[in-house]
A = this chain, B = another copy of it.
Amino acid sequence: MGQSNPNLLPVDEARARLREYAISPTEQRVEIARVIFARHQHLSAEQILSLLAQRASRVSKATVYNTLNLFAEKGLVREVVIDPAKLFYDSNLNPHHHIFHTDTGELEDVDPARVDISNLPALPAGKELLGVDVIIRVGGERRSR
Contacts and interface: CB of A to CB of B under 8 A. Distances in A.
A129 B138 contact: yes
Interface stretch (A13-21, A50-58, A81-89): A81-89
Interface of A: 81-87, 99, 101-102, 108, 110, 114-121, 123-124, 126-143
A137 B79 CA distance: 12
Nearest to A141: B126
Contacts of A101: 127
At the interface, is chain A mostly helix, strand, loop or mixed?
strand
Given A81-B82, A82-B81, A120 B129 contact: no
A121 B140 CA distance: 17
A87 B84 CA distance: 6
A127 to B, nearest CB: 5
A135 B135 contact: yes
